[in-house]
Amino acid sequence: MGQGMRRSDREVTGQAALEEILAKGVACHLALVCQGEPYLVTLNYGFRSGTLYFHCANSGKKIDILRGAGRVCFSVVTRHELVVAEKGCDYSMKFESAVGYGRPRFIEEREEKCQALSTIMAQYAPGVFEFPGAALLQTTVFAIDIEELTAKSSY
């Protein structure tokens, strides 16, 4: 937050390039704070227009934390590849990742909830999906509106 990137030669710039990383990811690591302690969860997600969408059960620790959360931090890694060397200290990793911050908001209205779930499904599978009313009632859907986003790539 405001410190700048140490390896600026690896910084990904341009909104389209940043968003492409989020569009290619398959898992999002969401960092929260619970009573002064870090709490990290890995979730499936969907990305559309500056927003990450998630779904989960209607109750649990994550939901309790999110309901009282201010800002949260997230990370998505899209590619990684071990670079083998003869010496241990010469091993390296090629990678592409994004880190961002935003604020959670819960989606309650049926149509927006279905759109959010469709966005999540589109991250993983083509097609059009239906979401029965009973399933919607048993599912919490929330969004993180992205306020800050940086990305790095060593490819």
Per residue of the chain (155 residues), what is the pLDDT tens digit?
A: 445 556 567 789 899 999 999 999 999 999 999 999 999 999 999 999 999 999 999 999 999 999 988 899 999 999 778 889 999 899 988 889 999 999 999 999 999 999 999 999 999 999 999 999 999 999 999 999 999 999 999 98
Measured CA distances, 113 to 10, 15, 87, 106, 108 (Å): 36, 26, 52, 9, 6
Domain count, the chain: 1
CATH number at residue 50: 2.30.110.10
- Give the dihedral sign, CA 61/63/64/68: positive
> Does residue 3 sit within a domain?
no
Domain span at residue 59 reads: 8-153
How far apart are alpha carbons 66 and 107 in whole angstroms? 13
How far apart are alpha carbons 30 and 75 in whole angstroms? 7
User: What is the value of pTM for the model shown?
Assistant: 0.88
